[in-house]
Structure formats: C-alpha cells, structure tokens
Structure 1
Amino acid sequence: MTRRLSDALRLILIVALAGTGLTDGRKCVYSIGSPDHRAVVEIGNVNGTVQHCARTDCCIAAVHLLNNNTNITTQGCSVIQGSCTDLLCLLGPLRRGNYTSCVCSSDLCNSHVAWSQDAVLAHQLSLQDLPQTEKVQATTSPTSLTSPRLDLTNMELHQVINRGRYAELWKGSLEGVPVVFKLYPSGCCRCYDNESTVYGLALLRHPSITCFLGEGESGQSGARVLVLELAQHGSLRAFLSQHCSDWAGTVRLALSLCQGLSFLHSEIHRDGVYKPAVAHRDLSSNNVLVKADWTCALSDFGSATALNLRPGPRPLRTQEVCVQVGTPRYMPPEILDGTLNIRDPLSSLRQVDVYSLGLLVWEMTTRCTDLWTVSPVPEYRPAYEAELGPSPSLDELILLVSERRKRPALTHLCRGTTLGCGALMEILKHCWDNDPEARLTAPCTEKRLSSV
C-alpha cells in the first residue's frame, strides 16, 4: 500500500527526542488539522507537539485516505475514555467515507500509523463491489502484507553508518524527516527479498522490532532500498562503547532485547491472521539498535528464517539449515562445529538465537556501573575479545567455544552486591549452555529476567 510520508515520518524525530521532566500521564503526539477536532485540545495540556493526557491512557490518530495516500489529520489524547491494548496505532477499516482512526496505549505511539490486516481485507472486499474505486494493493495471504512502496525521488543520503557484505546502511532524510536507508545493490536480490519478506509479515509490529516504513528503488543507482526508523543511539555496539548504565538501566536494556526476541520467536494467531515464528540467525551487537529511551530494537533480517509458514508451508531445505549463517563470535557451538539438529529447525534455530542473546546480555552487564564499585567500568569489549582478541578466526572460536566449552567471564557478576546478580548469572549460563536443548527459550528468558 502506498503511504504518504510527510505527516507520519516527520513525527519520528519527535518520538526520538521526547525528553524527560514532562508531566506524568500518557504522552501523545499532538497535531490538529481540522476545526472539528478541537475537543482534543480540551482533554490534556499541550506542550508544542506533545500532549499530556489528563483523563485517558490512550492516544489517537485520525487519517484521511485520498488517492491511496494516508494523510494524518489529527493526533492527540483520545476524547473517548475507554481501554486500548495495542502498543502501536493500527488503523481499522474505513468509515465515514475515506476516514478512519486508531488508538494505542504507549507514550507517543500515535506518531505514525499502520494498517491492520482487518483494514486491508475490508478494502479488498469493497473493491470487489466497487471496481471503479482506487485500488489499495495488498496480498491475499493471511501471513503477509505488501510492504508500502515509497517514492524515493527526494531521498537524501547524509552519512554512512555501516558498509556490510550485502548492503550499505545510511543515515538520511526523506521529505525532510530523519530516517535510515538500507541500500542493497542489484546483485544482492536474495538478501533484500528475504529481509523485505520478514518485515512484511502480518502482525510483525512490536516496540522492540525496528519500525519498517517502506521500500523503493534508488533512481540514481538502481539499488533496492528499505526505509527504517532512525534509532537515536545507533547499534548496541556503538551504544555500549559510549554509555554506561546503572543496574536498573542494564536490566531494562536486556529485558527489551528479550521481549523483542520472544515476540519474534512466537507464533501469533489473531482474528484469522497468522504470524509464524521467525529465527533471526544473526543476532550481534551490530544488528541490535538502541532507541532514544534506552531500549533495544531488533534489526537486520537479511538472514532471518520464517518457520512453519502457513498456508502452504515450504519445508526448509537441509542446505538452508546447515549453512553457517551469522557473525562468527556470536555463533553457538552447534553452528561452529556443524552439529546443528537439522531434523527440528523450528527449535534448533531458535536455540541458536538464545545463545547469541546470552552473549549480548553479558556485554550489557560489563558496562553496568553498579557492578564495578571498586574499580572503574572497563571499556566495552565484545564477547570473547578478552580471550581471542578483536578478530578471532573461526578455528579459534571452534576450539574455545565448542571443544573447550569456554564462555565469557562472570567475575563482575560474582562479586556484585546488587540484588539479582546471582539470578542473572544463572540466566546467562542457561542461555549459552553447550547443549542446545538445555537452553532457555526466549519467552522463558524474558520471564526470568523480568523478575530480576
């Protein structure tokens, strides 16, 4: 579905820069585009582009669909006092002509909107009855939606974030709004198609999953482009290199990462719509982003695999499961030595992610100020750098991780006096257990960490 960006994307920066020190209560992005919606002003204090709700926990966004473009007309606190459960603003079927709206239940969640599967299906049904109506493009599969196609004529590339094997990551702007562009050259169609497919899965919306804004093509180079929300602090690697946090902040950072992976690994059935379990397969400190509120968001799904996809599942081929995918230092023993259980990819590939998760949480703990009360907090070093240096070879990792079964040192947690250090140590040990079947699942890790 084509989506106009000028209203929705310009508000992403508001979300990223929403500061502390504001009044208590739900905070909603505020904009009034019609005199008919002046009642929104009366239900909360307005501070520039943010409204602090006085009598509701729900934010609202009203939109007008015109020529396949979604134009946000009103944003603010919900006038109707009621419950709202969705963390994101998911638009329902059109009503009152070409108008509809959505409500959501997290701070500034109405900054941008997405169409729910119910809305897409309603559009399709209406097209059958009114063939002259402008078409809203969507797939008929209940597991995926057509990714929004964007006009990238005004795409501006400002700064290279990373140049990877298959794609380049750029900070830039579109229609004056800061975004991230992921550029795949024409020869890397498979990785692009894979990542685009994962982002396009129905119900793949979560605060700990990088917000996907759409895709298109670069007119100059012909590269295929994914447009993503800009995470203020960049990658987890960059964040940990520049920031320390106290115990509460460290647990918050780790828990948000666990929540994202738990959501990714989960099958979801909702109102006839299905999201399959997805294995990331390349969790690393470069592929996790840190947002303005110091929480994590999973990114880079070029190697991800949707498991038990419905309808019409395509069984994973043996060579797809056995391939050594991922960043070597975050690979578990069964990937390093080729003993991955290919008979049960649904479980085994999720277990691979949990091992990597354990290493990332360990990296977070090394930058926790409450665990280094006697000596200064050390500089950030990724997993196994202390043992093998900055660029370990595959053979070195196989010897250390698989054959000798070594894991990063937990000394700082052993001597930590903070309540919960012992529990976190046990979580890490169960995440990176040498036996994949003995590892925690992502939902279980999330549950245990939330108690910490």
Structure 2
Amino acid sequence: MRQSWSFASMRKFIVSIAWFATCSSSAQVTTERRCMFLASPQNTDLTQSAGNVSGFVQHCARTDCCMGHFRLEGGKLTPVLLGCSIMQDYCPNRTCYASTHQQNFIGCVCNSDFCNTNITSNWPSKRTENKQPENSSDTTDVLSAVIIIIPAGAVILVISFIIALKLKIFPKCCRPKTPTNAYDILDTCYNDLGKHLEIQKQVACGHFASVYHGTFQGLSVALKVFPTIRQQEFTKEKHVYKLPLMMHSGIIRLLEDGKIRNGFVLVLELATQGPLNAFLSRTVCDWACTLKLAQTLSQGLAYLHTDLNMNGVYKPAVAHCDLSSRNVLVRANGSCALCDFGCSTVLQCQAPQGYSGIIKSTVQMGTLQYMSPEILEGCANLRSSRFLLQADVYSLGLLLWELLMRCSDLCKGSPVPEHMLPYETELGRSPTLDHMLTFVVEKKRRPIIPHVWAGFSQGSTLHELLEDCWDHDADARLTAECAANRLVSLTPDIAL
C-alpha cells in the first residue's frame, strides 16, 4: 500500500512540476496536448516537428496523442523516445498501453497529458512464469521515466527515475506458441482501418500493390493497398518500415498499417510532389533545388545503410535493392525521401549478441536500368552485406546523374535536356537484359556526363562523385555515407 501511494504521489508531483515549468518558460499558456519529451540527437528534428518543445515538455501541434518508446531489458523498461505522436493519431486509451512489442522494443500511444511517462501492458514475463502458474494473480513492478524540470531563467534541472511494471500474459491472438521472429508477433492481429480512412484516386500500380491518395482520420495520406493474396509482401514491407529507429527525414514515414475489406494497407506520409521521375519530367531545377534533392536523397540512403545501437535499441542496416527514381518521393519542401521497401533486405551486420528480431529476406533485385554490373552479370555474392549496399550506391550514382541533368544552372545557357532515365539515350526507355549486359558489363559504359560541367567551380567534384559511385568494381565505390558527405561539402554557389 505504501509503495502504490508513493508512486501516485510521485506522478502528481511530476505533472505539477512539468505544468509549472511550461507556464514559467513562456508568456503564453497553450491548451494543446502536453507530453513528456525525450529524444536522441538523431531524432530531435523529427520529433520536434510534432509540436513546440519547452524544456522536457512538448505541446502537440497536430495530434491529441502522446507516444512513448521503451527498451525492455531484464523485465524492466527504459524510455528512449517520448513526445507527441509522429506516426499515429488514433489513441483511444488515456493510459500508455503497449501497442507494439518487438523483442526488446515496446511502444504505446495515449490521449491524456503526460500519459507517456508510464506504460502498462500485457506480455509474457519469464520471471513471473517461473514463480507462478499462468492464472495466478497479478502484482506490480515499477517502470517510468520521471523528468523534473525546474526552470530558473535558462537553467533546467533534470531528474530521471525508473518504475517497473509486473507484466500480464500477452493477448492470445498475438502470442506465438513457440519462439519466433519478434516481428511475427503481431502478424495475426491486424488493425481494421476501414472506418478510419477514405481511398480517393489511384496514382500508381505495381506488381504487388496499388498506391492511392486518401485521407486517414482527416489527414491527407498515401495508401499502399495490397490484395489479400499479397499478405506476405505486405508483411515484409511493413516490417522494414517498423524497424526500430527508422524515423529519418530521408525515409517516408509509416503512419499506420492494417487491413481493409479487400486487402491490407500501409498508411504512409504523403509526399505531394510525387515520385522523383515524375517531378523531374515536369520540373527544371536551379542549382539550389538540385543540391537539396541530391543531399537529402544521399542522406536518406546513408541512414538506411547504417546499423545503430542507441540506448540498447538496435536498428540493423538495410539494403534497398530497388533504388530508382520511381522509388524516391519528393516532398513539398523539395527534399527527397526513400520509399517502397518490397525488395529490401535487412542485414545482420553488427547485431548485439542474442538479438533475434531481424528479418533476413530473400534478395529480390529491382529495376533493370539501375542494376549494378555485378547484379546484372549474376556474379554478386548476395550473402555479403557489402555487395548489397554497394549495389545501392551504384544506383545512387545513376539517380544523381538523372537529377543533375535537369539542373538549369549546369547547362550554361543551353536548353535543359528533357528528363531521361539512365541509359535511355543509348538503349531506349525499356532496354533488355542482353543490351544492358553488353553496354554496362562488357563495354563498361555509363551515362554521358556533359563536358560543360567542367566550366563550373564544382563541376569536377560532381564528375568525380558520379564516377566513384558507379565504379565497375564494387569495392572501389564510395559508401552512401561518403557520398552524402561529399554532397554536403558542396556550396550553393555554382559560379563559373
């Protein structure tokens, strides 16, 4: 009894202190949902976009939901990301009830002020199973992250503590009978999204799914709809989007996933400018616009390729395996974001010991014009993570060439060429595999880099960057991170 009284008193104390901090730190008092805020440097920009941050309190701008992501270790939870919900706007629960459970990574959303400081859930606990029968009464451990903020001018004092929970049995429909991949746990429990979304016009149709513009709880979104017989492809792509720490400005955000009457759907952030190939077909860019497209594209790929271990939460490296200008989207602000991970492979590069929540999928290689020489020839070691990542870098080189060719400032007074896919001038818009093998593998030819680029201050750098990305030798190519760093070093000045 004393323990529960102490816990309740502490929570009241935290909320009152946080309320005092938000009132003291600003002349205006907001009425939006208030959530506890905690983010790593890599995720700060993205999480701050969901609302204004004052110390360790966030005022939600577009949602009524707080979110929390926690690391589970030894039966205890530690917060790794707190704030206003970025990817979910449907939160019927007032308390932070775990809605995702992925090995050592648990998330929740809730709809009351500062509700993300404490999480409740039902999932198997080895500790309780060893001590009690399955139908024994529940007791309570403690988990929470408490952040006490005392503003004095610009000084903020932060105090954290951990409260653990005793865990109940995970819902039967989601509980595997035997140990499985962590991402398979929720595969039999799909959210029914039919009443929450409206499908409008179709914008694309692929082998496995169709893409529509639509609305989800009043928000304009992209809806990728898979027919029922394509459940496996839906599950695979969903798993890539839902890998831990996959939140990056260079990757399209998954907002929700679930089932509808005639299939399965991924609810995705809407990039209003559409695919990069369509954008380039109708848009001539100046150097500043072109540089932003190139930088954000390369940064998104570099992040995808990176394996991260942050506060015990692990993001494996991912090879896209179908990088093309139709699988890169352009936002309204002129930045690029990667999408369509149906062919992607999740790589076990430097996984922590005992980590088993990684999907190793069968490699499917994508669009013919963007395939690297070793993939075209069939001599790539597809079990090597480096080969798969460097094949993506080859595709990146072609994409950079594709968008640089539509830059008006690089044409030096000449008409800007019409948008062309890689090798379209030499081999036509739909080359055969034999033509690609002859041109790319045997002759080692690449798209032509205009001589006029040499007349610009950064032209030689661009020329070298492309050649280092699409080098015939995979081991000689740049990494995606190195390519991104070279592009960041370029200046907005493209003077002669």
Give TM-score, length-normalised by structure 2: 0.66
Matching residue of 2:55: 80
Query: Is residue 341 from structure 1 mapped to residue 318 from structure 2 by the alignment?
Result: no
Give, in whole Å, the separation in 1 of the partners of 2:328 and 2:438. 27
Letter in 2 for 1:270: M
Query: Is residue 279 from structure 1 mapped to residue 323 from structure 2 by the alignment?
Result: no
Matching residue of 2:480: 442
Query: Is residue 199 from structure 1 mapped to residue 199 from structure 2 by the alignment?
Result: no
Q: How does 1:391-430 map to 2 (within 5 A)?
A: 391-411=430-450, 414-417=453-456, 419-430=457-468
Contact 1:432 1:439 in 2 (8 A): yes
Matching residue of 1:25: none
Alignment deviations for residues 163-192 of structure 1 (CA, whole Å, 9 cap, x no partner): 111111111112332111111112223321
Contact 2:346 2:358 in 1 (8 A): no
Point out where structure 1 has 5 or more consecutive residues left out of the alignment: 1-34, 52-59, 64-74, 84-88, 94-99
Alignment deviations for residues 273-306 of structure 1 (CA, whole Å, 9 cap, x no partner): 1111100000011100001111110000001000
Larger displacement relative to structure 2 (434-443 or 182-191): 182-191
Query: What is the SS of the residue equivalent to 2:421?
Result: coil
CA RMSD of aligned residues (A): 4.0
Change (3 A) 1:218 1:428: same
Q: How does 1:263-302 map to 2 (within 5 A)?
A: 263-302=303-342
Matching residue of 1:378: 417
Larger displacement relative to structure 2 (140-149 or 247-256): 140-149
Point out where structure 2 has 5 or more consecutive residues left out of the alignment: 1-18, 37-49, 59-65, 71-79, 91-98, 109-117, 124-139, 142-164, 491-496
Change (3 A) 1:312 1:129: closer
Contact 1:191 1:303 in 2 (8 A): no
Give, in whole Å, the separation in 1 of the partners of 2:225 and 2:359. 29
Contact 2:346 2:360 in 1 (8 A): no
Give, in whole Å, the separation in 2 of the partners of 1:313 and 1:76. 32
Query: Is residue 62 from structure 1 mapped to residue 35 from structure 2 by the alignment?
Result: yes
Give, in whole Å, the separation in 1 of the partners of 2:287 and 2:208. 37
Change (3 A) 1:313 1:172: closer
Give, in whole Å, the separation in 2 of the partners of 1:256 and 1:229. 16
Give, in whole Å, the separation in 2 of the partners of 1:44 and 1:367. 47
C-alpha displacement at 1:130, in angstroms? Answer: 6.5
Matching residue of 2:348: 308
Letter in 2 for 1:91: G
Give, in whole Å, the separation in 1 of the partners of 2:69 and 2:357. 28
Letter in 2 for 1:262: A
Change (3 A) 1:246 1:103: farther
| Alignment coverage as a number of residue pairs | 374
Change (3 A) 1:259 1:165: same
Query: Is residue 431 from structure 1 mapped to residue 469 from structure 2 by the alignment?
Result: yes
Give, in whole Å, the separation in 2 of the partners of 1:405 and 1:133. 56
Query: Is residue 451 from structure 1 mapped to residue 489 from structure 2 by the alignment?
Result: yes
Contact 1:237 1:286 in 2 (8 A): yes
C-alpha displacement at 1:375, in angstroms? Answer: 1.1
Larger displacement relative to structure 2 (421-430 or 141-150): 141-150
Change (3 A) 1:185 1:308: same
Give TM-score, length-normalised by structure 1: 0.72
Matching residue of 2:127: none
Give, in whole Å, the separation in 2 of the partners of 1:292 and 1:40. 36
Which has more radius of gyration?
2
Larger displacement relative to structure 2 (225-234 or 246-255): 246-255
Larger displacement relative to structure 2 (287-296 or 238-247): 238-247
2:400 to 361, 381, 384: 361
Matching residue of 1:69: none
Q: How does 1:180-329 map to 2 (within 5 A)?
A: 180-219=222-261, 221=262, 223-308=263-348, 310=351, 311-312=355-356, 320-321=362-363, 325-329=365-369
Give, in whole Å, the separation in 1 of the partners of 2:236 and 2:168. 33
Letter in 2 for 1:379: E
Contact 2:328 2:339 in 1 (8 A): yes
Contact 2:193 2:260 in 1 (8 A): no
Give, in whole Å, the separation in 1 of the partners of 2:180 and 2:26. 43
Alignment deviations for residues 223-270 of structure 1 (CA, whole Å, 9 cap, x no partner): 111110100101001111121222122111111011111111111001
C-alpha displacement at 1:366, in angstroms? Answer: 0.7
Matching residue of 1:71: none
C-alpha displacement at 1:450, in angstroms? Answer: 1.0
- Identical pairs, percent: 37
Change (3 A) 1:43 1:406: farther
Larger displacement relative to structure 2 (389-398 or 226-235): 389-398
Give, in whole Å, the separation in 1 of the partners of 2:443 and 2:294. 27
Letter in 1 for 2:342: G
Larger displacement relative to structure 2 (331-340 or 184-193): 184-193
Contact 1:401 1:407 in 2 (8 A): yes
Matching residue of 1:16: none
Alignment deviations for residues 336-375 of structure 1 (CA, whole Å, 9 cap, x no partner): 1111124x52100001100000100111101111111221
C-alpha displacement at 1:307, in angstroms? Answer: 0.4
